[in-house]
Structure 1
Amino acid sequence: MTKLLPRISLFFVLIFFQNTCFYAQDFDTACQTTQPFCSDASEDLTFPNTTGDIDGLGEVGCLNTTPNPAWYFILIDEPGQLVFDIKQWVDEDGDNRRDSRERLLDVDFIAWGPFPTSYIIDCGDQLSRGCDLNADGDNIRPAECVNNADEPDFYIDDLDNTNIVDCSYARAMLDDDTNKIETFTLPEAQSEEYYIILITNFSDEAGVIQLEQTNVGEDGAGTTNCSVLEPGIAQDRIAVCGPGSYPITVEGRFPGSAGPPEVLAAVDFQWSRADLGSDTFTPLPGETLPFLEVNGNGVYRLQGFDNTGAEVPNSPDQVSVLDVTGITYEIGYSIAESSFSGSYTITAEVTTDPITESEGFTDFEYSLYRDLNNGNGFFEYLPYQSSPVFEDVPPGDYQIIARYANCPDSELEDDEIIMILGYPKFFTPNGDSFHDTWDIINPEDQPTAAIVYIFDRYGKLLKQIIPGGSGWDGTYNGSPMPSSQYWFRVEFNEQEDRDVERTRRVFKGSFSLIR
């Protein structure tokens, strides 16, 4: 019952250990036991199936029976299509790999989504148990749900008109093992979406389950977020952009493991809050679920407790949340090269307040603006980039614009104009008002006047000018000089020393006169 899809050599699956014997579950609360998996881990991972609950949850979607239900969730990272194969087998040698002699077991599944969190408060209310072919919202029945092997596009095209995203069962126990592999498809998953999957074990025989993403690396393929496998809260910090971005949902779990030593999963939770920069936490009354709706800045801490009441390993864990439109920061810069180097490296330098810095909110991006119209306005020269370093910048007037990453409302413009000294490589004194004279670029950034001497190819002094004046018009004693290469020497104050007493320097170079 599987589509024939190209395979990759590695399996990508979930790791989670749980008891192999379960009591009967109540559908209204059963999905609250969901555990994380991801499909792009770099090693082979499996999770054990469940036994001892052959009655299961009754009829759910296309599944006539749901024996030994196990619940899992995935979080989407990169958006796109995700295609999985679900396998179940008797892992006789315990190596988490299916050898040719190891028997496949029947496995069925149903999946729902998307959701903003992996934790469903009321499974019976939020997870549809049937389909609604006429989309009237009434008389939603399992009998209207189909097997995706019979109608592959039924759930892809949302013909069920519910939040069931896929469902499949193996109807006959044939000798052909491929009939015991199910295919699960998410056609257009989006980043930060959660999906819930119920997987059954009809055989009631102990084994392992493996979920393999078969389209990893293909064009348009999405990925799952493996940070959910880490205990606690996936993020260390969350930046929101503008007070209108609240509320946000923060989520964390502390899954157990079979060990050794065995680690019990957290079943009870408690959230606390502290101000940013503080380590004094106050418990939040009533916030005892593994997710929290956050409405403002702060540090949010999650504790987890197992079924004995003991705090579990890796607990507590915490995340800092900040509306970055309200942070204060200043922009500075440095220039690597000396004046007249021809091209320059400008490095932006952002300084924030101590609390913002200590909480790690330093993810800024930078843009460079240039005055291209001789004092008539700055325009974008280099677009926003994550690196503060701008390379191969020619002489001219510049401004740095900064903002917190992906937050336009936090944008700040540096008031200081960066004036980089340089000189034109050529000029054309032909009376067309374009490049008619030659002069140093940005001489006004000099506390003491610079002096320029211009020579012909034989070293004859043709003109001495004070930069920032009328410049050289290409004449000597009123006569036009011919097209040729000319030399200059400039005495100036080095701009790198702008914050201290500047050093007087001399630079020599050449330029072309073109007629």
Structure 2
Amino acid sequence: MCSNIEPFCAGDQRLVFANSNEENTDVDVAEEGPDYGCLSEQPFPSWFFMQIEKPGDLKFTLAQNTQADFSGADLDVDFIVWGPFERTDDFCSYDNLTEENQVGCSYSEAATETMTINNAQANAIYIVLITNFERLPGFISLQQQNPNAAGQGSTDCSILGNALGDDIAVCGEQEYVLDGTSDEASAYAWYERLEGENEYTEIAGEEGPTLTVTQSGDYRLILTDVLGDNSEADDVTVTFYDNPEIGVAGDLYSCDSSGTVDLTENDDDFIASQGSGFSVRYYETQVAAEEDTRISSPATFNFSGEQSIYARVENDETGCLSEIGSFELLAYDFPQLNLPESAALCVSEEGNLVNDLVLGADVGTQFSYEWRAGSTILGNSAILTLTEDPQVTFLELILTSLETGCETNYQVNLEQVYVPENLSVNISGSGFGDGYTLEPMLEASRDNPFAEYEYSLDEGAWQAAPFRNVSAGNHTIRGREVNGCGPTLSFHVYLVGYPKYFSPNGDGINDYWNVLNDAEGSIRRLYVFDRYGKLIKQLDPRNGKGWDGTYNGKQLPADDYWFRVEVQDVKTGERQEYMANFSLIR
């Protein structure tokens, strides 16, 4: 009823208070007499008055919800404002609550309204009626918009019926000071309700604005306003509680640098053995923990880098908080696992696996391993040995950290490589000039697109083909598949050539010069000239030792000499001539 009107003010913070509903009042419709303006219905009325402190415009956000933290269902909120009045006026006189004195009114279906009072003067009084159209228990929120902006007025919070605030839970302290100080109060009187009694008893000697209490109980403060004979009483219940304890929690790891982390995984460790009725609040900084500015969604906390996370255990019944604990939020890094992107399955012409394929690496017992071929699990060991073709194009390894639950996937593509069965060598060039080029080639009985081959000349290093500038003489070429598929094959070749120098000094070493002919005698004619083009000797490379460095029985001097040779291709019969020089050394 308006006769029970209560003061309120907006202040710098949002004011939240219970609405009128069937659980806390029998008054389900507003009294008759006032002009309710746009409010065609006035279910479950809540009457308030506010006093203006700083003149100016005031704009308020008014909202209604089923939950005090406004996390529940929205409720339709309606209001009407009358004013301005003097402090000495009879606020609830129906002569004042008229259409002429209406300042604002809303009857929309919205759960959030804007209530505006323009050009409010200092000390003026405004009456506000808020109704609960949906008739459900809930809470009303009042918050002034931009209270410190230029031209904005403010409400007077110096004396309220709720001067002591809501019921007080004193956590971990031996005493608490109740403070009802008001600039407009002329007298204070404190009362206490003794255990087992219904009436409040005045506390002798307590006539100041504060009262120090050391035990749980119900207390009352009666304020007398300096503006006439206006007393207001405020009751409060003070309860002393021990603070909850906080346990030790381990560090948490983010499995994904761009994902979220469930901080509540540490709830049980922090609550420890205290049982049910406790919850954990999480904070991003030490200061936030001290100010109780908690993380709003700890179960889906966005990981943006390694950091310390702070926590406090709350007693759900009392609201008391523990000391501050902490743990580290870390990025989990998997160890380096050197798996190839592709692996060769060595198969025979019939498609049977010739060699076992061994994959994987053991990075420790703190991980679990799962090898998959499609939906089939092949094994749970660090090392996988395939003895049969799994008939899939790739294998998957799922590596899971047993400590953190983080997992990562590796994929190895499988490529069928057929055993090479033949090694051939394409020979080009000659033993004269730039020498021979040998181009070996391994071949399988079937198309082998995934095979990789390498070759070795005369036990030399393995390399890709071809071999260039190969000298004359006997040579052995070996070929193998890089992944070890099949045996190493060999090819032997004899290349025709000539020595670059000779020394006819009778020591039995390099005393004669001749071309290195092949067994089929492909070289047909051979001529030796001096540097001036004079024919010195005609040789038959198929017979004799060769040239001994003389001309007409006389030794020729050390010098460069030239030869011309005619070579016949034993396969085609085609003849070609080559010329080159060599040295006679004395």
Measured against the shorter chain, the TM-score band is: 0.3 to 0.5
TM-score (norm 1): 0.42
Q: Which structure has the bigger radius of gyration?
A: 2
Q: Point out which structure has higher relative CO (alpha carbons under 8 A, 6+ apart).
A: 1
Higher share in strand = 2
